[in-house]
A and B are shown apart, each in its own frame.
Chain A
Amino acid sequence: SQTIHQWPATLVQPVGSPLSLECTVEGTSNPNLYWYRQAAGRGLQLLFYSVGIGQISSEVPQNLSASRPQDRQFILSSKKLLLSDSGFYLCAWSESGGLGAYNEQFFGPGTRLTVL
């Protein structure tokens, strides 16, 4: 069966410090991978998605970046955190289906980031 892991679970970082959040998926190959941010009262915002190694699409311009160094590994980074980066970060994966595919996304447990 497939599983998705995220770490760390919680993180408190000062403004201006770097960030690295990691997400890994097991039990599937060539998944589509997603990073979302959930800020209080603002629902889910898609930040990045990836359909393959080294292929990253950015949905929202910001000081965050994403990388996919391996098929089932997705990393969210920042060189300098801002206060507004605080939130709950969720990684998700889906099968790499084609046209008309049923795109259920499976979510990880999330990382709670607080920037002080």
Chain B
Amino acid sequence: GEDVEQSLFLSVREGDSSVINCTYTDSSSTYLYWYKQEPGAGLQLLTYIFSNMDMKQDQRLTVLLNKKDKHLSLRIADTQTGDSAIYFCAETDSGAGSYQLTFGKGTKLSVIP
């Protein structure tokens, strides 16, 4: 089956940039997503990128996609303590009519004041 891999932990100082990385195996991925999960809560979509794009910027968030290497990253500029959460990378192959998302295990971001 398809696989999505992320490192489990990342620790940064407040005000620095955070970069969360993700690799995936599905060469037919059409959309790739970043979700955020705060403690004890459900997941919230942060941003997504269509597979024919290589970059997307949304305020403090920058998503980079290297389709050749199947590598996705999320950069958070000026990281704040409120950014502490688990970040999930996910992909879908909607071109095959699939509704399902394949999620990574999540990267726990800890922001040190």
| Interface residues in chain A, defined as those with a beta carbon under 8 Å from any beta carbon in chain B | 32, 34, 41-44, 46, 49, 51, 90, 92, 94, 96-110, 112
Contacts and interface: CB of A to CB of B under 8 A. Distances in A.
Contact of A100 (B30, B35, B88): B30
B44 A107 contact: yes
A90 to B, nearest CB: 6
- The list of the 4 closest CB pairs from A to B, nearest first, reads A43-B105, A107-B42, A44-B103, A107-B43
B99 A99 contact: no
Contacts of B104: 43
B18 to A, nearest CB: 19
B43 A102 contact: no
A40 B29 CA distance: 27
Contacts, number: 65
21 contacts: A41-B105, A43-B105, A44-B43, A49-B99, A90-B43, A92-B43, A94-B99, A96-B99, A97-B99, A98-B97, A99-B96, A100-B95, A102-B50, A103-B94, A103-B98, A104-B33, A105-B45, A105-B101, A109-B41, A110-B41, A110-B42
| B interface residue count range (under 10 / 10 to 19 / 20 to 34 / 35 or more) | 20 to 34
A104 B104 CA distance: 16
B95 A104 contact: no
B99 A51 contact: yes
Contact of A44 (B30, B48, B88, B94): B88
Interface in B37-94: 40-45, 48, 50, 88, 92, 94
Nearest to A6: B42
A114 to B, nearest CB: 13
Nearest to B33: A104
B25 to A, nearest CB: 15
Nearest to A105: B101
